[in-house]
Structure 1
Amino acid sequence: MAREIASLSALDAETLRQRWKALIGADPAPYLGRSFMVRALAYRLQERALGGLKPAAQRLLDRIGDGRAELVEERIPKRRASAGTVLIREWRGVSYRVTVLDNDVVYRGRRYKSLSEVARVITGTHWSGPLFFGLKRRSKEAANG
């Protein structure tokens, strides 16, 4: 597969169009640029060898393509802590409690402007407060949490 993908950039325009028709199943649009066609064909080759999108993602894209998707309804609501919420976070074996108020937060009897300010007090480094307290998902788990 790697050799086949690498060889795409060496193909002339007509051969690229033939490969497009063979892999995609239709003639490419006349305005498609060479670099786009090479990238799209490389993707298709990888897709065939390694698998494509998950079915749920494909269904969503199909609905969007058909104009049937209401993107506003598909959005995932943000996780927020309302006033009165108590957030508990364990950090390096110690449990920390923060109470959320309307415009600030309370930690150890003292008011702070934000969760980030509290996270900085706890860890000694800059942290996103919502991330530290689990209100925002991490792309990668912190190693020392």
Structure 2
Amino acid sequence: MRQHWTDPAAIEAEIARIRSLPLDALRRRWRVMFGRTPPAALSKDLLGRMMACRLQEQAFGSLDRESLRFLDGLARHGGAPRRQLKPGTVLVRDYHGQRHTVTVAPDGFNWQGTTYPSLSAIARAITGTAWSGPRFFALARGNGTPPAHGPHKTWARAGRNCPATGIEQGIAAFANLLTGVTPKQ
């Protein structure tokens, strides 16, 4: 690593220079920096940001393993990597003074003698309202309390079945660069 890459002022100056490059020059610089052709869908702004990140990474170090794992999950599935529950795992939740026990099965989740396809279906059966099963059973972040009134509202977000926007494509491309993952075509 050359000496000038450890100087924050030199890095800032190089980033400013990258941002000022026209798109064709930016794409040529990308090829030199990453050793491959830049993704065609990325805008000039996103190319510049990703190159700036690479410069900072070379100077100050890379992301930690957990951050790389998170980005890999975003690139592969549109979200953080999911925790897989092994068959036989027992989940217990007390709700309105009643204890509910769910056993993970190879084909779903068993609750009160019935197999359900998801924890969310069980949470709905218990609460009578739409509710994230992983959150209800404290497997996901949240306060673990169902909504007080009416159905729980959820917001749709781009996922596996939704076309990715430009920024989502950029995030996926950047995560792929950091993790070395080549997406399936």
Give the structure-2-normalised TM-score.
0.38
**Structure label with greater radius of gyration:** 1
Q: Which has the higher contact order (CA 8 A, sep 6+)?
A: 2
Give the structure-1-normalised TM-score.
0.44
